[in-house]
Amino acid sequence: MIVDSHVHVGRWKYPPLDEYRAAMLEAGVSHAVLVQFVGNADNSYLSQCVAADPARFTAIAMVEDDTPGAIDHVARLAATSHFTGVRLWAATRSPGSDPLALWRAIAGHGLVASVRGPLADIAHPAFAEVVDELPELRLRLEHAGFTRYPDAAVDRRDFDRFLALASRPRVYTMWAGFYANSGTAYPYPDADPFLREIVAAYGARRITWSGDWNRPDPLARSYPDAIRHVTDRSYLSDEDRVWILGGAARELFGWPVEAS
């Protein structure tokens, strides 16, 4: 069972779900986590997509931390059962007396925090403090922590701090985003040394995969090639590949309950 853990669809900016369904069929992807894109806090389309096919899709919403009623909004999203996570930035802090109010709400409703970078924010000691303050919160650091591999090859500090977050057992990361963060074309050879270290730190069981299905990259390969990017890595065992291509997402999101 292959699960794409980070798929953008929409009424604008990104293609609708029906176009993605065709790509799933071609690539052999059985399930997907639909993730709200930046600049759109209206999660109704994703909710409709999941409601129409909850066995195949779940979703991650976007909630603006400075919106009045943001905490109650998280509760409403959780109550629909269409959403298994909320997307936010590593630097997100709520206004008012509790800067971690939004993070606490995500944790309190059993949702996953899908965390955007940049890497400098994920690596900042203040983010580690958030993680340590909420040990019950499950987090997924998107796109390998938004590591830019040419930069990391020059300055290791932030990448090392990103690796150190793996010591927290509820922190996951994601095998994706190479089209934007690599300095080379597919199969992104400059990322391989860093991916080896990510696997060593997090373990394949805490790495979810995404094929960057609709990436705006003229050098990009096909969606099935994104699967081969995992299966062709010689430093991964067969068990590693199973976890990265679906097992980790299934465990993190608690979904799907059974393969279909």
Burial grade of 252 (CB within 10 A; 0-12, 13-18, 19 or more): buried
Kindly report the pTM of this predicted structure.
0.95
Residue 220 has pLDDT above 70, yes or no: no
- Residues in Cβ contact with 76 at an 8 Å cutoff, skipping those fewer than 6 apart: none
pLDDT score, position 259: 45
Share of the chain above pLDDT 70, in %: 96
- Mean pLDDT, residues 181-203: 96
Residue 100 and residue 198: Cα distance in Å, rounded?
27
pLDDT score, position 66: 80
DSSP labels for 45-96?
HHHHHHHH-TTTEEEEEE--TTSTTHHHHHHHHHHHSSEEEEEEETT---SS
Confidence of residue 77 (pLDDT cuts 50, 70, 90): very high
Could you read off the pLDDT of 80-109 as tens digits, one per residue?
999 999 999 999 999 999 999 999 999 999
Residue 55 and residue 53: Cα distance in Å, rounded?
6
pLDDT score, position 67: 79
Q: What are phi and psi of 31, to 5 degrees?
A: -140, 160
Pick the CATH number of 3-253 from 2.40.30.10, 1.10.1060.10, 3.40.50.720, 3.20.20.140: 3.20.20.140
Could you read off the pLDDT of 137-161 as tens digits, one per residue?
999 999 999 999 999 999 999 999 9
Residue closest to 86 by CA, chosen among 64, 114, 58? 114
- Containing 31, the helix (H) or strand (E) segment is strand 31-35
In single-letter form, the type of residue at position 1 comes to M
Asked if 4 and 175 count as a contact pair (C-beta separation under 8 A), the reply is no
Confidence of residue 222 (pLDDT cuts 50, 70, 90): confident
Could you tell me which residue, 31 or 41, shows the higher pLDDT?
31
